[in-house]
Amino acid sequence: MKIDTIANFAGRGWTALIAFLFIPIYINLLGIESWGLIGFFVTLQIILRLLDLGLSTTLNREIARLSAREGEARRQRDLVRTLETVYWSLAVLVGLLMLAAAPLIARYWIKAQGISDETVTTAVWMMGLIFTFQFPSALYQGGLRGLQRHVLLSGILAGTGTVRSAGAVAVLWWIAPTLQAFFAWQLFISILETLLIRSWLWRLLPSDSLRARFRTASLLAVWRFAAGMNAIVVVTSLLMSLDKVLLSKLLTLEEYGYYMVGASVAGGFYILVAPFFLVAFPRFSQMVAAGGHQPTSRLYHLLCQTTTVVVLPVAVVVSVFSREALMIWTRNPVVVENSYLFVSLLVIGTALNSPMNIPYAFQLANGWTKLAFYQAAISLIFAVPALVVSTRLYGGVGAAVLWATLNASWLLITPHIMHRRLLITEKWQWYVQDVGKPLLGIVAVVAFVRAFVPLNTFGLLAQLLVLGATWALAVGGAICLTPSLREVVFATVGSYRGEQNV
């Protein structure tokens, strides 16, 4: 699990780092309106995730379960063939619909001022093509994770992510600084990535004498869990993209571009927490099937505490020092002044959501999908009118405040409900030791630096060093306050020292 977690973390972290480093270059080469249109594409991808129908997570779970049994090669291969047929059919259908709807989106939805309707239409056409070839990649990734080939998958995603970001800059710099060139490169990489991951999945599936076939029985065998996951995916995708969709209509494309700078920074925190979820989910599925409370409980708390220590120190530093962090990142005072408040609020909301990911993985491993669905559905019902009103009154800031408020409320409510059914005796340990204590330690360190260090009198390099030192102190303080993680860290350090002495 250590190797798999490190591989996921390194792969996703590297891909996110490369993407973040190049965002200011995209803005400088294309302009803030074009970046807003790229942000619209990212939002569109989140919405279209609802077409996943829960199948990628279902494939992950079923491959993990079947791989632990003998003689299940044919079922695994038939399941992959069946689900990929459904996936590709949906991808082609949605791609064609986007091609048909592109002129309407350009004319009646996007409020572009410096970009022509023809350019926006062409960009939306290309978004449809990218989605068609990118969408099935999620299914094949689920299959590789079910086989627990995390190192291989992380390597592929890190490689294609690097080529995607660096290649886009090269294309814009040396060929043409246009949206068409940017999306053409994204299309090429999407095709390459999907075909590469598909090839590896089929190569690693256990061999069978008969050719894999589409089987209705394969769908019927997994439909109940897939239906629950589909319900979660639908409401969660709508909830996560609601602010971006409505703001793309309510704000000008320039204002929307500034909001999407904050959304891009906040989205990076999902990349920090995802490796732990991706490793925990298949492992929890196997452990729950095998039974045994104590091993599962120990792993559960260790992963919860590790997630807290990895995600929250970065989030608190970035949200408290958003002006400084943005200036170091973009070197653009206009972007900083118009985006820093969005960064602070959206990062706070996303950070408060991160501690609930490991409990969510444990719920899914137990086949319990209703809690996550009800949480997202209730949030969606409340958020739609609240978002319209808050945006009308306060613009994008109102939407960002709403996002932070929703996640703060669910952090208090959802784990309480979960621990009444699963890991019943572990609730207060989760609230106090896994989240509460380390969070207070992190906030105390960062607040002290904010109050007593005159950061605005330093140069950018000195500011970066101070922020890095603040993060390191916050991580150290959080580790000292998380008992399970502290034990592992101290044991690892002690073992290393012993080897050095020998």
- Tell me whether residue 495 is in a domain: no
Q: Are residues 162 and 206 in the same domain?
A: yes
Mean pLDDT on 49-67: 69
pLDDT grade, residue 317 (50/70/90)?
Answer: very high
Of the ranges 25-29, 114-118, 203-207, 270-274, the best mean pLDDT one: 203-207
Structure tokens at 2: 């250590």
Q: Are residues 470 and 359 in the same domain?
A: yes
What are the backbone dihedrals phi and psi of residue 289, each rounded to the nearest 5 degrees, phi first?
A: -65, -35
**Last residue in a domain, options 192, 227, 262:** 227
Q: Is the pLDDT of residue 491 over 80?
A: no
Q: Are residues 257 and 214 in the same domain?
A: no
Instruction: Note down the domain range covering 444.
Output: 251-488
* pLDDT value for 161: 84
- Dihedral angle over CA of 403, 408, 413, 414, nearest 10: 60
Structure tokens at 130: 């990218």
Q: Is the pLDDT of residue 496 over 60?
A: no
For 199-213, how does the pLDDT look when each residue is reduced to its tens digit (9 = 90+)? 998 888 877 767 777
Q: Is the pLDDT of residue 480 over 80?
A: yes
- Tell me whether residue 493 is in a domain: no
* pLDDT value for 444: 93
Mean pLDDT on 81-91: 85
| pLDDT, mean over the chain | 80
* pLDDT value for 31: 77
Q: Is the pLDDT of residue 48 over 80?
A: no
Q: Is the pLDDT of residue 196 over 50?
A: yes
- Tell me whether residue 235 is in a domain: no
* pLDDT value for 461: 86
- Tell me whether residue 496 is in a domain: no
Distances (CA, A) of 224 to 102, 228, 229, 368: 35, 6, 9, 11
310: exposed, middle or buried (Cβ count in 10 Å: 0-12, 13-18, 19+)? buried
Mean pLDDT on 489-493: 64
pLDDT grade, residue 107 (50/70/90)?
Answer: confident
Q: Are residues 98 and 192 in the same domain?
A: yes
Q: Are residues 201 and 338 in the same domain?
A: no
Structure tokens at 137: 């990649």
**Last residue in a domain, options 227, 243, 278:** 227
- Tell me whether residue 99 is in a domain: yes
- In 3D space, the residue among 296, 415, 293, 397 whose CA is nearest the CA of residue 352 turns out to be 415
Q: Are residues 104 and 220 in the same domain?
A: yes
How many domains does the structure of the chain reveal?
2
Q: Are residues 380 and 448 in the same domain?
A: yes
Q: Are residues 347 and 468 in the same domain?
A: yes
pLDDT grade, residue 497 (50/70/90)?
Answer: low
- Tell me whether residue 10 is in a domain: yes
Quote the longest CA-to-CA distance of the chain: 72
Q: Is the pLDDT of residue 86 over 90?
A: no
CB 431 within 8 A of CB 415: yes
Q: Is the pLDDT of residue 24 over 80?
A: no
* pLDDT value for 502: 46
361: exposed, middle or buried (Cβ count in 10 Å: 0-12, 13-18, 19+)? buried
- In 3D space, the residue among 311, 303, 274 whose CA is nearest the CA of residue 439 turns out to be 311
Q: Which amino acid appears at position 187 of this protein?
A: L
Q: Are residues 347 and 208 in the same domain?
A: no
Q: Is the pLDDT of residue 60 over 60?
A: yes
Higher pLDDT, 206 or 328: 328
Higher pLDDT, 25 or 229: 25
> What percentage of the chain has pLDDT greater than the value 70?
81
Judged by average pLDDT, the poorest of 168-177, 233-242, 316-325, 490-499 is 490-499
Mean pLDDT on 115-135: 83
Q: Is the pLDDT of residue 455 over 80?
A: yes
Structure tokens at 381: 């019902």
Q: Are residues 292 and 210 in the same domain?
A: no
Distance CA(253)–CA(445), nearest Å, equals 38
CB 301 within 8 A of CB 488: no
Q: What does the DSSP 8-state code read for residue 211? A: P
* pLDDT value for 13: 65
* pLDDT value for 380: 78
Radius of gyration of the chain (CA): 23
* pLDDT value for 447: 93
Q: Are residues 189 and 65 in the same domain?
A: yes
Q: Are residues 346 and 481 in the same domain?
A: yes
Q: Is the pLDDT of residue 5 over 70?
A: no
Distances (CA, A) of 250 to 44, 346, 449, 499: 16, 18, 38, 61
Mean pLDDT on 44-56: 67
Judged by average pLDDT, the poorest of 114-118, 148-152, 398-402 is 114-118
* pLDDT value for 266: 82
Q: DSSP string covering 142-207, please?
A: HHHHHTT-HHHHHHHHHHHHHHHHHHHHHHHHHT--SHHHHHHHHHHHHHHHHHHHHHHHHHHSPP
